[in-house]
Amino acid sequence: MKRLTIYFTLLAIATCSYGQKVKYEVDLNRILTLPVGNSVSELSQWKKIEPENPSIAFQLGVLYKKRYESADPLMNAKFKYGNAELAMASLKRAELLVDEKEVKRNEECYFNFGRYNEKGKLEVSFDTVTAFIKSSQTELSSYLRAAKFIQEEFQLSFHHYDLAHKIYLQILGEYPTFKELYLLYDENVNLQFEKLSREYLSFLEHWKTYKAAEDTFDIGYDQKIQISEIQTYRLDGLQSEINFLKNDIEVWDYAKWVNETRERINTEIGALRKSLITEDIRLKKELANAPSDFRKDEFQTLIVAKEVLFNLRRYDLNSLVEPLLIYKEKQHDLIRQKLLSASLDSAGTDEDRDRKLYLYGQTLNKIILADRTLVQAAERNDTTGYKKYQRFVDEQYNGADGISAFVKAERRQNANDARGVGTKIKNELYEQLSSDLTSETIVYRGKSFQLSAANPVEDGLVSAAPITTHQLRTFDGAYVIGGIFRNEKENKTQAFVCALTPNKRMAWYNEYLLKNESSGEFDSHTRLAALEFVPGGVALILNASSNDGLKTSNQLIMLDEKGDQVLTKNLAIDQYPRTMSFIETSHTLFVTFKGHEFSESISQESDITTASYNLLGELQWQKKTSYKGDIVSVVIADNTRIIIGDFNEIRDLDDRTITAGPNQSGIYALKLDTNGDIIGLKTVTNNASLSGNIIYKVSDNCINIFGTKGAYVKNKVLNTDPASALHLILNSDLDILSSSLD
């Protein structure tokens, strides 16, 4: 009841009848001063009350047209079109209701289309009102006829370009580099290319139609597209925001990119794929002819064609094909290496035996290098690798499974070959080193000296009979040997060094018993700790220790070719010297020190000091680390120093602890650079203890470790027992080339 009362009250106030007209005029004035949206809202309420009021129909038409005019034809297309329709409908209604009589009678209801005369009276011309209605209808009619089509074509052009951009982004996501795109181009990629090109061309078609339609009705934009070419994959063709609501619109020519990319793939990639197959066929043919070429002395090094590799690497640095091609190159070299080695199998001279051992070592290294290419091929033989080179893989290897079978068979054969060559090296060196064990004895001054080195013993077990602990041999068969014996008068261990001519006669002989610096008495046990050839003679390090072992010192002595002492230098480092090596490239001595006693224990951690001295005995540098282990020997290879020994516990380059097991030993090889810094570590362990006895370097890349499987015992004598003998071969990279543990 209350709502009904309010309604009739409003009706009574608002009615634009003879008695109520002033109220409407006042309200109309107020309404038209409001924002357009509010004006429309309030007039719409008046229309509900007075649906036949001519003024309301006209004024709504005016307001709707204002909203139409203020709306952007592209950004607010629906709003603009809707208001144009509303304006058209309202003005048509006004055309029917508004006549000259209505305007004259109710000028106040059309005041916004009138003017005040000189007397201040409002005058509204019916012609002005009808002119507005007619011109607006013409304009709106023209817009309504063209707008929807223009807007549809505009939206379609944007839609197709947006789709093209998204397809391009999808391609970028699936193929991070243009190289992968080129090599993985298949029917699926082709379909993506087709869709990308089609969407871009559809964009152009609708854009042209939109611009042609725009010529028939000016929407207030002067738009142009600026087309850029895609030059750089992943850098060009990308847009963070696609904005078609401005006059200058930037777009990428995806269709041209598709055409150019296809052409490049069809020419360059097509030629590459063809060349890979041709090259593989050539390499296989050369491999088949290799033995015959070697016998006819027509053997030539086989190299994968540089142009093929260059073109392949332009697109793929990690291809499946490259290791398969390179393997044939290495396989060809291996055939030559094996045939060369076989020609020396029955060699009898020392020179031929040395060459044979060198060739065997080279063969092992070449097998390792060849095997690595097979490992690469196996790692790259995945779905992506196959898709990139499907035709090559299918035609040359019968598919991805064929590559897997090929790799397994070749690796198995390489492993067998490596074992065979390793056995040959071991047997040759066994024969050579075993002959040293039965070397003759030289008698001098009533004492017998063994040419071969034996295991040294503790001071309390040393007798008057000399024990040879170090042996050097020259190329012409002369020897320098050294060791220890008991000085019965002083009851001390005493050192000796002597030289033997090639016919085993004593050239010179020296004995050493160092004095204790504090008392001047002969009260130090003196051991020969290290012995090495140097230019013009030999260098030796003597270690002196008191009875209780609390006082130790080291002395470097240089002897000339006649055994005369030319230099004596006390060393500041008081640890026990284990090895000394002459470095030809720098004319320096590389010395290792470990522990403070002659005897070593691998169960107790102790420092190892490596030091470099010039030939005047001056310290150049020293480095220190520690581990539980001993030192067997040092090998100088490829300008590095490789310390080889036994260990129970040692830390790797990442400071992680490696253990051989409780009360067990393993073998280690510690690689140092020219400054003594550790650059590599290799450890070998087994379920039983392993220990090294003799290290024999055939070449930088054929380092032999002869040792023992079983409980750890410090031993420098070759173990020939088949049940417990151990043989390992390393190269300077610390790769295990052969192992009797396999």
The tens digit of pLDDT for each residue in 228-253 reads: 999 999 899 998 888 888 888 899 99
pLDDT of residue 21: 44
The HSE-up count of residue 79 (CA atoms within 13 Å, CB side) is 12
Q: Is the pLDDT of residue 422 over 80?
A: yes
Higher pLDDT, 243 or 199: 199
Those residues whose C-beta lies under 8 Å from the C-beta of residue 166, and which sit 6 or more positions away, are none
- Cα–Cα distance measured from residue 442 to residue 466, given in angstroms and rounded to the nearest whole number: 11
pLDDT of residue 516: 62
The angle formed by the CA atoms of residues 97, 98 and 99, to the nearest 5 degrees, is 115
The angle formed by the CA atoms of residues 482, 486 and 488, to the nearest 5 degrees, is 145
Contacts 24+ apart (CB under 8 A), 188-194: 192/167, 193/258, 193/261, 193/262
pLDDT tens for 423-448 read 999 998 988 887 765 568 899 988 99
- Cα–Cα distance measured from residue 341 to residue 333, given in angstroms and rounded to the nearest whole number: 12
- Cα–Cα distance measured from residue 483 to residue 513, given in angstroms and rounded to the nearest whole number: 12
Q: Is the pLDDT of residue 518 over 70?
A: no
Residue 25 binned pLDDT confidence (cut-offs 50, 70, 90) = low
pLDDT of residue 11: 42
Query: What torsion, rounded to 10 degrees, do the Cα atoms 622, 625, 628, 633 define?
Result: -40
Q: Is the pLDDT of residue 418 over 70?
A: yes
DSSP SS3 for 493: strand
Q: Are strands 467-473 and 447-450 parallel, antiparallel or unpaired?
A: unpaired
Taking residues 159-163, report their average pLDDT: 94
- Cα–Cα distance measured from residue 88 to residue 81, given in angstroms and rounded to the nearest whole number: 11
Distance of CA 685 to the CA centre of its chain: 30
Taking residues 483-490, report their average pLDDT: 91
Question: By mean pLDDT, which of 192-201, 251-260, 434-443, 477-486 is the weakest?
Answer: 434-443
DSSP 562: T
Cα distances (Å, whole numbers) of residue 94 to 25, 26, 52, 124: 18, 21, 10, 16
Q: What does pLDDT average to over the chain?
A: 88
pLDDT of residue 720: 79
- Cα–Cα distance measured from residue 195 to residue 187, given in angstroms and rounded to the nearest whole number: 12
Comparing C-alpha atoms, which of 672, 671, 713 is closest to residue 692? Answer: 713
pLDDT of residue 6: 36
The HSE-up count of residue 551 (CA atoms within 13 Å, CB side) is 12
Q: Is the pLDDT of residue 16 over 50?
A: no
Residue 12 binned pLDDT confidence (cut-offs 50, 70, 90) = very low
Q: Is the pLDDT of residue 3 over 70?
A: no
Dump strand ranges (E) for 548-639: 552-560, 565-571, 577-583, 588-594, 606-614, 619-629, 633-637
Distance of CA 559 to the CA centre of its chain: 53
pLDDT of residue 350: 67
DSSP SS3 for 631: coil
Taking residues 127-148, report their average pLDDT: 84
Those residues whose C-beta lies under 8 Å from the C-beta of residue 8, and which sit 6 or more positions away, are none
pLDDT tens for 334-369 read 999 888 888 777 666 667 788 889 999 999 999 999
Comparing C-alpha atoms, which of 543, 626, 541, 642 is closest to residue 583? Answer: 642
Q: Is the pLDDT of residue 7 over 60?
A: no
Please state, as a whole number, how many other Cβ atoms lie within 10 Å of the Cβ of residue 445.
8
Taking residues 478-482, report their average pLDDT: 94
- b/e burial code for range 417-434 (CB count within 10 A of at least 16 → b): bbeebbebbbebbeeebe
Query: What torsion, rounded to 10 degrees, do the Cα atoms 382, 386, 388, 393 define?
Result: 140
Side chain identity at residue 231, one-letter code: Q
Q: Is the pLDDT of residue 685 over 70?
A: yes
Higher pLDDT, 720 or 590: 590
Side chain identity at residue 573, one-letter code: I
pLDDT above 70: percentage of residues in the chain: 94
Cα distances (Å, whole numbers) of residue 515 to 374, 483, 544: 62, 18, 8
pLDDT tens for 362-415 read 999 999 999 999 999 999 999 999 999 999 999 999 999 999 999 999 999 999
- Assign 3-class secondary structure to 117-165: CCCCCEEECHHHHHHHHHHHHHHHHHHHHHHHHHHHHHHHHHHHHHHHH
For residue 483, give both structure tokens.
Answer: 């060791």
Place of tokens 């199998």: 345
CB 182 within 8 A of CB 190: no
pLDDT of residue 201: 95
pLDDT of residue 143: 75
Q: Is the pLDDT of residue 304 over 80?
A: yes
DSSP 1: -
Side chain identity at residue 86, one-letter code: L
Please state, as a whole number, how many other Cβ atoms lie within 10 Å of the Cβ of residue 391.
11
pTM for this model (two decimals): 0.71
pLDDT of residue 1: 39
Residue 199 binned pLDDT confidence (cut-offs 50, 70, 90) = very high
pLDDT of residue 50: 86
DSSP SS3 for 367: helix
pLDDT of residue 520: 53
pLDDT of residue 8: 37
pLDDT of residue 24: 61
Side chain identity at residue 639, one-letter code: N
Question: By mean pLDDT, which of 221-225, 280-284, 288-292 is the weakest?
Answer: 221-225
pLDDT of residue 393: 96
Comparing C-alpha atoms, which of 438, 484, 444 is closest to residue 462? Answer: 484
Find the length of the chain: 742
pLDDT tens for 440-472 read 889 998 899 998 888 888 877 889 999 999 999
Query: What torsion, rounded to 10 degrees, do the Cα atoms 427, 428, 434, 436 define?
Result: -170
Dump strand ranges (E) for 237-361: 248-252
- Cα–Cα distance measured from residue 81 to residue 58, given in angstroms and rounded to the nearest whole number: 19
Comparing C-alpha atoms, which of 194, 208, 206 is closest to residue 159? Answer: 206
pLDDT tens for 29-79 read 888 888 988 988 888 888 888 888 998 989 898 998 889 888 877 777 788
Q: Is the pLDDT of residue 145 over 80?
A: no
CB 469 within 8 A of CB 481: no
Residue 521 binned pLDDT confidence (cut-offs 50, 70, 90) = low
pLDDT of residue 574: 92
pLDDT of residue 22: 40
The angle formed by the CA atoms of residues 162, 163 and 164, to the nearest 5 degrees, is 90
In the sheet that 736-739 helps form, which strands lie side by side, from edge to edge?
Answer: 690-699, 702-709, 725-730, 736-739
Residue 714 binned pLDDT confidence (cut-offs 50, 70, 90) = confident
Those residues whose C-beta lies under 8 Å from the C-beta of residue 561, and which sit 6 or more positions away, are 536, 537
Place of tokens 């052409």: 263
pLDDT tens for 611-651 read 999 999 999 999 999 999 999 999 999 899 999 999 999 99
Those residues whose C-beta lies under 8 Å from the C-beta of residue 353, and which sit 6 or more positions away, are 347, 428, 432
pLDDT of residue 9: 35
How far separated are the first and last CA of the chain, in Å rounded? 107
Q: Which helix (H) or strand (E) holds 360?
A: helix 350-380
pLDDT of residue 439: 65
